[in-house]
Amino acid sequence: MGWLRAPAGGPLDYHRRWWLRAYVGLVFLLLYAPIVTLVVFSFNDSKRNIVWRGFTTKYYWKAWNNDSLFEAFTNSLMIAGVSTAISTVIGTMVAMLLWRFRFPLKSAYEGLVALPIVVPEICMGVAMLAFFSRVTGFPTDWPWPFNLSAITAAHIAFSFPFVAVVVRARLIGFNRELEEASRDLGASEWQTFWNVIFPYMRPGVVAGALLAFTLSLDDFVVTFFTSGPDTLTFPVKVYSMVRFSVTPEVNAASTVLIAITIALTVLAMRLQSPARVG
């Protein structure tokens, strides 16, 4: 990792080039301009996000006291959390399967795994509706959070292929001699995986998990078609709310959601960083 600490202006210190920084800065500016607008307008003393009419926090109180918004919030975070955990594990395993083994009909299998990425959302939503209502008869009256299991199962189905694709792209460059060296030095398969392969693929796993979380948290179509009564999620709530117009209440709720996710991310990073240095 010595190259990271090379003297300023070295040939590989791309991150010190002003033009690259400026370009990336511009991208971030464009990415965040709408978000900043959204946060600012959540404090706007007007029912609509059109003109500034003075500062207020009343929409936060309104959002706080809006039970169904609150419920939708918890449901969404619950679904996204479970779905991310499971799809990260499954997706990573599929990536390793495809990376490590030769087996008959492999390209067909790869195609199948990529299928959830290919299917138009609405088509998948309808498929889930048909499936859960006529094939399995998933019960809808379980106690929370198990009433969300149909939605979660569907989310995992469309998330883990994304994880698999990303992790596999990362694994392609792995030097298998490292694995052999580890085994030659007496490490078991499991130790080799944990100490050699996993640290290598970790950036891919993290990226995949982030994608899975994003996909689940923001999914409207599949969730809508999979949900039973009393399983309101945040996107479904938002879709019906903005039907009447985008109120600062929606903005306030989103701002809170951003704040919560930032807090969780920072926490996760704190917990993760001092441990296990690959």
Partner 1 sequence: MKHRKSPMMTSRRSFLAGTGAVAAGITLAPHKSFSAEDKVINFYNWDTYIGETTLDDFAAATGIEAKMDLFADNDELFAKLREGNPGFDVIVPSNDYVERMAVADMLSPLDHDKIPNIANIEPVFMEAAFDPGRKFSLPYMWGTIGIGYRAGAVDGVPDSWKWLYDSDKYSGRIALLGDASTVMGLALKYLGYSYNTVDPAEIKQAEELIIAQKPHIKLFADDNGQDLLASGEVNLAQEWNGDILQVQEEDEDIAYIVPKEGAVIWQDCLCIPAGAPHPQNAHAFIDYLLDAEAGAAIADFIQYATPNGAAKKLMSEEYLSNPAIFPTEEVIAKLEPEIYRGEEVTKLFDEAWTRINAV
Partner 2 sequence: MDHWRDHKLAFWVFAIPGTAWLVVFFLAPLAIVWALSFGENISITQTRVTGTLENYGRALLTPVYLQVIWKSVWLSALATAGCLLIAYPVAFLISFVGARWKMILLAAIILPFWINLLIRTYALIAVFRTRGFVNFGLEWVYETLFLDRLFGPFQPLELLYNNFAVGAGLIYVFMPFMVLPLYASIERLDKSLLEASLDLGAGQFTTFWRVTVPLTMPGIVSGIILVFIPMLGSFLIPDLLGGTNAQMIGNVIERQFKSANDYPFGAALSFLLMYATFAALALRAYAAGRRSAAQV
Give, as ranges, the residues between 171 and 230 that touch partner 1 (CB under 8 A): 224-225, 227-230
Contact 212, 83 (CB under 8 A): yes
- b/e code 31-52 from CB counts within 10 Å (16+ = b): eeeeeeebbebbbbeeeebeee
Contact 239, 220 (CB under 8 A): yes
The yes or no reply on residue 133 touching partner 1 (CB under 8 A) is yes
What part of residues 187-246 is at the interface with partner 2 (CB under 8 A)? 189, 200, 203-204, 206-208, 210-211, 213-214, 217-218, 220, 234-235, 238-239, 242, 246
How far apart are alpha carbons 124 and 118 in whole angstroms?
Answer: 10
Please pick, from the candidates 9, 11, 54, 229, the single residue that binds partner 2 as defined by CB under 8 A.
11
The yes or no reply on residue 139 touching partner 1 (CB under 8 A) is yes
Cα Rg of the chain, angstroms? 23
The yes or no reply on residue 74 touching partner 2 (CB under 8 A) is no
CA 101 to each of CA 95, 97, 239: distance values in angstroms, whole numbers, following the listed order: 10, 6, 44
Query: Which residue's CB is nearer to partner 1, number 103 or number 244?
Result: 244
Task: Pick the piece of the chain touching partner 2 (CB under 8 A) from 3-11, 54-62, 140-148, 180-188.
Answer: 3-11
Interacting residue ranges for partner 1, rule: CB under 8 A: 46-50, 68, 126, 129-130, 133-142, 146, 149-150, 153, 224-225, 227-232, 236-237, 239-246
